[in-house]
Structure 1
Amino acid sequence: MTHATASKTAAGRFFEDFRIGETIRHATPRTLNAGDASLYSALYGTRFALQSADTFAKAIGYPESPIDDVLAFHVVFGKTVADVSLNAVANLGYAECRFVKAVYPGDTLTSTSEVIGLKENSNKQSGVVYVRSRGFNQHGDTVLDYVRWVMVRKRDHHSPAPDAVVPKLVEAVALADLGSACPAIERAAYDDTLSGSPNRFEDYVAGERIDHVDGITVEEAEHMIATRLYQNTAKVHFNQHSEGQGRFGRRLIYGGHVISLARALSFNGLANAFHIAAINGGRHVAPLFAGDTVFAWSEILETSVLPGRDDVGALRVRTVATKNRPCTDFPLREGDGYEPNVILDLDYWALAPRRP
């Protein structure tokens, strides 16, 4: 004889399950260690000296080599997926992302999200959910704070929509809010040979464009391993049985995978932009699939001296990633939209050492 019981499994939230002002506390705490950092390096080929060598990090003023900024972002983001975007159609963008405190091997990260915006789409089949997510370490200190918006399916296309609320977001994180995750840097000890480039903060000018030259082809196994590394459970990345019947006919690569690839590629030209201090805004312009090759280029939007600091300066960088298209001519816009091969448009602040 069988007995009907309440389901012990979770189907994830749909658009109509979100309420403005609610705060969601996410599972599962995650302790990061050197193994996670090594796997991240193996997946993307990142070469920034600070995140690669304890000796380099200690010489310039860090207690040890920190966890890569983007890895910390992905782990905080991954905690939110089961409660925010398990039933997502697409992750659309980011804003007001501040890297508040450095993350080191041995730190344990947790996440919360506050719902700050809701807007049903005109097709009545989905809606956009805006959340402000925060990552904390084991001491309760905020390490990361950001806004993202994601298109989420509706459970019932006929269910009434809430009043639309779209949050107003700043164009760029203020200079005064940058640098808290970066200790005082010993400029004289910063070895330009070991870092991979002689170019420091003073060598970059607004309007300068840099082709990062190299390309990286994405393999199916790599993007799935990467997404599992972050405990990101979004269905579109893993389940070919269901995605084969979807609009693309195959698994969609996590947008954050593209961010990491573009950041790794940017080493060739921005090797001394050693710390991402903030992400001002980001847009996943088009999907990426296994077999595609990613290229990237960057434009220096601003160069700014940080208030009260003479050791590092802030470079506002726009990094654009493409698929199957080298960036020698800096592809971006076409008519009122993007050039067809553009897949990522990311605006961020990176710190670079100043000259002694």
Structure 2
Amino acid sequence: MTKTNPGRFFEDYAIGQTIRHAVPRTVAEGERALYHALYPARHALYSSDEFAISCGLDGSPLDDLLAFHTVFGKTVPDISLNAIANLGYAQGRWLRPVWPGDTLRAESQVIGLRPTSNGQAGVVWVRTTGLNQVDEAVLDYVRWVMVRKRDAASPGPDPVVPDLAPAVEAADLLVPEGLSFENYDFDLAGEPHRLSDYAIGETIDHVDGVTIEEAEHMLATRLWQNTAKVHFDATHRPDGRRLIYGGHVISLARALSFNGLANAQMIVALNAGAHAAPCFAGDTVCAWSEVLDTAPTQAPGVGAIRLRLVATKGDSAAMTLRDADGKYLPDVLLDLDYWALMPV
């Protein structure tokens, strides 16, 4: 009897199925250091205990996307080990900060299934919740993945496609307890721009770029214990190339957005996201953002800004997303819609 795990295929999922993912992960300052080494991350709230304390927190929490990647990585052996592509995200919320020393685990519920037209695969929708060591939810999100079938001739289930809201409502954003930007130090944060300085519809070219190396993206993917074959095994794709983990592109783009959005300190919701094109080692990632909305919060001096973050291959100066037919331009890697907290 085999003891190895080939991963789940499309036939192995059922609506309502709940999956408790192995293996819990205790995160610490080492993860922060590696995260900041892999990405040009500079947001002050995640870099300095003293800055975070001046903003009403007990210290500097771990980066919001570090928490996301850790929880996401837990789900890969059960959800996307046999994935063809990770297709999108929706309805994500960060529910409480993750602190050094916290232990994170993940659970997912299957909420949608749809066979593909060619019968070779199917799309699986899951709602994933990340929990800490005292079973408090720290974040949750929906994602959908195209997964290979074990047997192309096997019958598919009746399609069930979840009805997902286009965005998290501003009233449903959760601000960390105690957070206040009343004494916010703009000099130490790196830029003078506050919420009122941004206009809906404004676009910001983040100017800088990062060229991805093979070793760098594989180290990052291993850091999150993401075991998806397409990221490591060069024989797993017909073109013989390792696919860059989509979260690696997200973190690169978010870090690049510091130039122009240094005061968008904390990501609190993920409204929608799509990996529009594959990314490979040797690609240079650039980024631009569009301001979609702003909103007040109940926390002192804290507002919310809704941003579209676009990562591109090469020059981002055109700041164009789609062609005349509404299709993503070939150089667009990522289209991410999120809410962040910013001083008013």
| CA shift for structure 1 position 183 | 3.1
> Corresponding residue for 1:317?
307
2:286/2:311 contact within 8 Å kept = yes
Matched, 1:278 2:269: yes
Matched, 1:342 2:319: no
Q: Deviations over 1:241-297 (max 9, x none)?
A: x23xx2332100001111000000000000000000100000000000000000000
Q: Deviations over 1:25-58 (max 9, x none)?
A: 0000000000000000000010101101111111
SS in 1 for 2:207: coil
- Aligned AA for 1:216? V
| CA shift for structure 1 position 344 | 0.3
How do 1:111-130 and structure 2 match up within 5 A? 111-130=106-125
CA–CA separation in structure 1 for the residues paired with 2:178 and 2:238: 47
CA–CA separation in structure 2 for the residues paired with 1:315 and 1:181: 16
Pairing partner for 1:75 from 47, 65, 70 = 70
CA–CA separation in structure 2 for the residues paired with 1:309 and 1:208: 25
SS in 1 for 2:88: strand
| CA shift for structure 1 position 180 | 3.4
CA–CA separation in structure 1 for the residues paired with 2:16 and 2:55: 42
> Corresponding residue for 1:14?
9
CA–CA separation in structure 1 for the residues paired with 2:89 and 2:133: 25
> Corresponding residue for 1:3?
none
How many equivalent pairs are there? 343
- Percent identity at matched positions? 61
| CA shift for structure 1 position 200 | 1.0
| CA shift for structure 1 position 182 | 5.5
Matched, 1:200 2:201: no
How do 1:20-39 and structure 2 match up within 5 A? 20-39=15-34
Unaligned runs of 5+ in 2: none
CA–CA separation in structure 1 for the residues paired with 2:50 and 2:179: 16
Pairing partner for 1:296 from 287, 296, 305 = 287
CA–CA separation in structure 2 for the residues paired with 1:320 and 1:186: 27
CA–CA separation in structure 2 for the residues paired with 1:182 and 1:193: 24
CA–CA separation in structure 2 for the residues paired with 1:331 and 1:216: 19
| CA shift for structure 1 position 331 | 2.2
1:27/1:79 contact within 8 Å kept = yes
| CA shift for structure 1 position 201 | 1.2
1:321/1:342 contact within 8 Å kept = yes
- Aligned AA for 1:96? Q
| CA shift for structure 1 position 202 | 1.4
2:206/2:287 contact within 8 Å kept = yes
CA–CA separation in structure 2 for the residues paired with 1:133 and 1:352: 27
CA–CA separation in structure 2 for the residues paired with 1:22 and 1:318: 32
2:179/2:300 contact within 8 Å kept = no
- Aligned AA for 1:319? L
> Corresponding residue for 2:320?
331
